[in-house]
Structure 1
């Protein structure tokens, strides 16, 4: 099915548009850039996995993740994000090609392209600029005197993605039923339900069921 012109296309990022989990990749980069040994990153990642294993929601784990940036200067994170992204591009294989090609078709058709992710702007802004996306909607950070507090206003996870996408479409005078959304994980289901053209990336059963409705599609997922 061709892309729908004169609408918006909303893209989840991690393991949908890109092959990496940007939040973990950037956290490792940030710790190294601030002189902390690799063991610090591994402890942090293990701690976050344990939170998930013990049943905390993705929203709660997302909040716990950002506490690792408490006290960091926002300007430093922006600079680190640019360097992190350059390294990702140089390493190759960063973008998930089936979804990247879909994004390029949306742009060629005149659609607005919006990234919607639980990640944050040091990661998302360089990706959006590189791709020519119109906007990135990420997890907003609380910043005081130029430094992150480690707290967030609301994780851009699950229902928050749907609210953001519908709000963006409304603000720009677009009908959500003419818009498209791409996601790979069950928590992207509200985003896919917020539009008329859901695209399941990979084989999550809930997303495949949603994408089976009229106007939906399926694309190959990231290979483990």
Structure 2
């Protein structure tokens, strides 16, 4: 009689506001613009533009697309190098990671779970974080590239239902058991991912997320106290 192969459990981690105490996409954008010689006002204007979209009720998928517009024309390799420099600077400053969540990540690895970062950010920004935490699987937004340069366009932001779809694809590819798996997130856009796994953890103090946690029996963990929350 053929024996059915045992399916592997996994742990899925949102990044900004979950694994990290800061919004790394914006911290890196500020660093990149300064490194490229732009005055601080360029970052402030860009941040205000995106914040105004959020305040006007524009869906997060659209603000995510709008974020990548500022990368139009930037060389992929140059951005990768800047991202590594940025991350090393963040490590030197301290307080970048949520200690509760990174401790959970290491415990999941010790148990043999597959570890995956699942983020609306992009690979350049996430790769140094993944290397530091020894995370092999990164599911993220993939901005368009032509001739080694970003076009400023993004087809599918990995936000909301796109995160759930990515988990389903990975589950089929890696023979995962979602009921035996865990997921971690801090924002309502993480809910489709959190609902898929047998265990879910809400990070932070978002009242809507805490309401969902109470209704579904999910754990709620705090952000690590830090003086670096200049997102």
TM-score by length of 2: 0.90
| Structure 2 partner of 1:15 | 17
Note the alpha carbon deviations across 1:59-87, whole angstroms, 9 max, x for none. Answer: 00000000000000011111111101100
Instruction: Summarize the Cα distance change of 1:46–1:222 in structure 2 as closer, same or farther, 3 Å threshold.
Output: farther
Native 8 Å contact 1:184 1:221 kept in 2: no
Instruction: Summarize the Cα distance change of 1:181–1:57 in structure 2 as closer, same or farther, 3 Å threshold.
Output: same
Cα distance between partner residues in 1 of 2:51 and 2:215 = 34
| Structure 1 partner of 2:189 | 187
| Structure 2 partner of 1:67 | 69
Within a 5 Å distance, the mapping from 1:192-211 to structure 2 comes to: 192-211=194-213
Q: Does 1:117 align with 2:119?
A: yes
Q: Which shows bigger deviation, 214-223 or 88-97?
A: 214-223
Aligned counterpart for 1:48 among listed residues 44, 47, 50: 50
> Alpha carbon RMSD of aligned pairs, Å?
1.7
Within a 5 Å distance, the mapping from 1:139-150 to structure 2 comes to: 139-150=141-152
Q: Name the SS of the counterpart of 2:159 in structure 1.
A: coil
Cα distance between partner residues in 1 of 2:89 and 2:98 = 16
Cα distance between partner residues in 2 of 1:211 and 1:179 = 17
5+ long unaligned stretches in structure 1: none
Larger radius of gyration: 2
| Structure 1 partner of 2:4 | none
Cα distance between partner residues in 2 of 1:172 and 1:215 = 28
Aligned counterpart for 1:166 among listed residues 168, 172, 175: 168
Cα distance between partner residues in 1 of 2:215 and 2:133 = 29
5+ long unaligned stretches in structure 2: 1-6
| Structure 1 partner of 2:82 | 80
Cα distance between partner residues in 2 of 1:10 and 1:168 = 11
Native 8 Å contact 1:198 1:210 kept in 2: no
Q: Name the SS of the counterpart of 1:36 in structure 2.
A: coil
The CA deviation at 1:135 is: 1.1
Tell which has more relative contact order, 1 or 2 (C-alpha 8 A, sep 6+). Answer: 2
TM-score by length of 1: 0.93
